[in-house]
Amino acid sequence: MNEPTERPDDDDPGAPAPDPGSGMLRVFGRQLKRFRLRAGLERSEFGARLGYSASTIAAYEQGRRVPPPRFIDQADELLDAGEVLKEMKEEVARAQYPAFFRDAARLEAEAVELHVYANQAVPGLLQTPEYARAVFGMMRPPLDEEEIERRVAARLLRQEIFAKHPSPLMSFVIDEAVLRRPIGGRTVQRGQLEQILLAGHRRTVEVQVMPLDSEENAGLAGPFTLIETSEGRRIAYVEVQNVSHVHTERRLVWGLEIKYGILRAQALTPQASLGYIEKLLGEL
């Protein structure tokens, strides 16, 4: 079979440049193209066999879009890539996250314990697709639609942690203001509260509400996440205005652990918190 005829690199000069932190996407794209050419397939033919357009295949090969895991599995088999593409699946998936969150996403996926304090928005691990889409849609400067959908998909991918066996132990202390803020509208708010309730009934998850009428709140400095890995490493993640810090220094992590313990003592108990969320739902 003759090799497909196409421009040497077939890059779109007007395409947006990929995230500098997404080098893995470009590496995957080059490998995908190499195996496709070896198989003697045009982009249109290759895409048709897998149910994708030629322009989508081009975006994957140029590192401009993140291919879903199912596509990678199908492409590896169709192109007889010997699992070379499949072996890159985890790193490709991580490239969906904004550069500032990638290290935290890797640590989160390895966690045996996760503890989250939230006073600005519902924690990403608990967000519904509609709520996440509304959050990303309100960012300024605005994100384009493709980037919004990519970030929503990445956020939902993180939630696969709930299906792990064994599932990590998780706790969330959420400020009441977060629960009352109707991001995306009342319908989205209702769906989001229902999802938090469902999560709070899991045996490995505890949800606590920090009430607005509490005179004490140790978390006024902002949200943070505490992570413990299977190796016993204790790590803290703090993010403000897309600037993130992963802290491993014991003194800093210890300080946030103390703060989180105080927050849990100041918040409603898990049982009272679920009852309070049900009350909020009844008010909508």
Q: What is the mean pLDDT of residues 169-195?
A: 97
The secondary structure of residue 123, as a DSSP letter, is -
pLDDT above 50: residue 12: no
Distance, in Å, from the CA atom of 127 to the CA atom of 195, rounded to the nearest integer, reads 8
| pLDDT per position as a tens digit, 116-145 | 999 999 999 999 999 999 999 999 999 988
Tell me the percentage of the chain whose pLDDT exceeds 70.
88
pLDDT above 70: residue 13: no
pLDDT above 70: residue 220: yes
Using DSSP bridges, classify how beta strands 243-247 and 234-240 pair: parallel, antiparallel or unpaired: antiparallel
Say how many C-beta atoms besides its own lie within 10 A of residue 17's C-beta. 8
Q: What is the mean pLDDT of residues 163-182?
A: 95
Query: Looking at 11-25, 105-119, 169-183, 225-239, which range is the least confident one?
Result: 11-25
Q: Residue 4 has what pLDDT?
A: 44
Angle at 115 between CA 183 and CA 162, to 5 degrees: 75
Give the pLDDT band of residue 11 (cuts 50, 70, 90): very low
Q: Does residue 141 have a cis bond before it (omega within 30 degrees)? A: yes
Q: Residue 19 has what pLDDT?
A: 47
Average pLDDT, the chain: 87
SS3 231: coil
User: What element of type H or E holds 112?
Assistant: strand 111-118
Q: Residue 205 has what pLDDT?
A: 97
Strands (E), 157-284: 169-175, 205-210, 224-229, 234-240, 243-247
Q: Residue 229 has what pLDDT?
A: 87
Angle at 130 between CA 271 and CA 206, to 5 degrees: 20
Q: Does residue 166 have a cis bond before it (omega within 30 degrees)? A: yes
Between these two residues, 7 and 43, which has the higher pLDDT value? 43
Q: What is the mean pLDDT of residues 164-183?
A: 95
Distance, in Å, from the CA atom of 84 to the CA atom of 161, rounded to the nearest integer, reads 25
Q: Residue 100 has what pLDDT?
A: 55
| pLDDT per position as a tens digit, 37-74 | 999 999 999 999 999 999 999 989 998 888 888 899 99
Task: Decide: 276 and 208 in contact? Cβ < 8 Å.
Answer: no
Q: Which amino acid is at 268?
A: L
| pLDDT per position as a tens digit, 74-93 | 999 999 999 999 998 877 87
Task: Decide: 46 and 57 in contact? Cβ < 8 Å.
Answer: yes
Give the pLDDT band of residue 111 (cuts 50, 70, 90): confident
Q: Residue 217 has what pLDDT?
A: 95
Q: Residue 146 has what pLDDT?
A: 83
| pLDDT per position as a tens digit, 229-276 | 888 889 999 988 877 788 889 999 999 999 999 999 999 999 999 999
Query: Looking at 65-69, 70-74, 164-168, 277-281, which range is the least confident one?
Result: 65-69
Please spell the DSSP secondary structure of 199-227, one letter per residue. Answer: HHTSTTEEEEEE-TT-S--TTTT--EEEE
Global confidence as pTM: 0.70
Task: Decide: 192 and 280 in contact? Cβ < 8 Å.
Answer: no
Tell me the percentage of the chain whose pLDDT exceeds 90.
63
